[in-house]
Amino acid sequence: MQDSFVYQMLPARVVFGRGTSATLPAEAERLGLRRLLVLSTPEQVVLAEQVRQLLGERAAGAFNDATMHTPVEVTAHALEVVKAERIDGVVAVGGGSTTGLGKAIALRTDLPQIVLPTTYAGSEMTPILGETQGGRKTTQRSPKIQPEVVIYDVDLTLSLPPAMSALSSFNALAHAVEALYAPDGNPIVSMMAEEGVRAIVGALPRVLKEPGDAQARASLLYGAWLCACCLGVTTMGLHHKLCHTLGGLFDLPHAETHAVMLPHALAYNAPMIPSAMARLCRAMGTDDAVGALLQLARDCDIPLALLDIGMPYEGIARTVDEALRNPYENPRPVEAGALAALLERAWAGMCD
Ligand code: NAD
Model confidence pLDDT, tens digit, residues 199-216: 999 999 999 999 999 999
Ligand 1 and 165: CB distance under 6 A: no
Ligand 1 and 228: CB distance under 6 A: no
Ligand 1 and 269: CB distance under 6 A: no
Ligand 1 and 8: CB distance under 6 A: no
Provide the whole-model pTM. 0.96
Angle between helices 187-209 and 214-233 (to 10 degrees): 150
Give me the residue spans of the domains in the chain. 13-157, 162-348
**SS3 of 287, please?**
coil
Tens of pLDDT, residue by residue over 227-243, are 999 999 999 999 999 99
Alpha helices (H) in the chain, listed in sequence order:
24-30, 45-55, 72-84, 96-109, 154-157, 162-179, 187-209, 214-233, 238-250, 254-269, 274-284, 289-300, 315-325, 336-348
Q: Is residue 306 a contact partner of residue 253, using CB atoms and an 8 Å limit? A: no
The preferred substitution site among 152, 164, 175 for testing ligand 1, maximizing ligand atoms within 8 Å of CB, is: 164
Q: For residue 8, what pLDDT is reported?
A: 85
**Secondary structure letter of residue 335 according to DSSP:** -
How many other CB atoms are found less than 10 A from the CB of residue 247?
20
Q: For residue 219, what pLDDT is reported?
A: 98
Integer Cα distance of 95 and 43 in angstroms: 11
178 HSE (CA, 13 A, CB side): 28
Ligand 1 and 121: CB distance under 6 A: yes
- Residue 92 host element (H or E): strand 89-94
Residue of 43, 275, 300 whose CA lies nearest to 171: 300
Q: Which residues contact 274 (CB under 8 A, 6 or more apart)?
A: none
The closest residue, in CA terms, to atom 2 on ligand 1 is 95
Residue of 219, 270, 206, 199 whose CA lies nearest to 191: 199
Q: For residue 33, what pLDDT is reported?
A: 98
The preferred substitution site among 38, 70, 120, 123 for testing ligand 1, maximizing ligand atoms within 8 Å of CB, is: 123
Q: Is residue 234 a contact partner of residue 179, using CB atoms and an 8 Å limit? A: yes
Can you give the pLDDT of all 352 residues of the chain as single tens digits? 778 999 988 889 999 999 999 999 999 999 999 999 999 999 999 999 999 999 999 999 999 999 998 999 999 999 999 999 999 999 999 999 999 999 999 999 999 999 999 999 999 999 999 998 886 788 999 999 999 999 999 999 999 999 999 999 999 999 999 999 999 999 999 999 999 999 999 999 999 999 999 999 999 999 999 999 999 999 999 999 999 999 888 989 999 999 999 999 999 999 999 999 999 999 999 999 999 999 999 999 999 999 999 999 999 999 999 999 888 899 999 999 999 999 999 999 987 7
Integer Cα distance of 326 and 345 in angstroms: 22
Architecture of domain 13-157: 3-Layer(aba) Sandwich (3.40)
Q: Is residue 289 a contact partner of residue 268, using CB atoms and an 8 Å limit? A: no
Q: Is residue 69 a contact partner of residue 132, using CB atoms and an 8 Å limit? A: yes
97 HSE (CA, 13 A, CB side): 18
Integer Cα distance of 203 and 143 in angstroms: 32
Ligand 1 and 129: CB distance under 6 A: yes
Buried b (16+ CB within 10 A) or exposed e, 308-328: ebebeeebbeebbebbeeeee
Architecture of domain 162-348: Up-down Bundle (1.20)
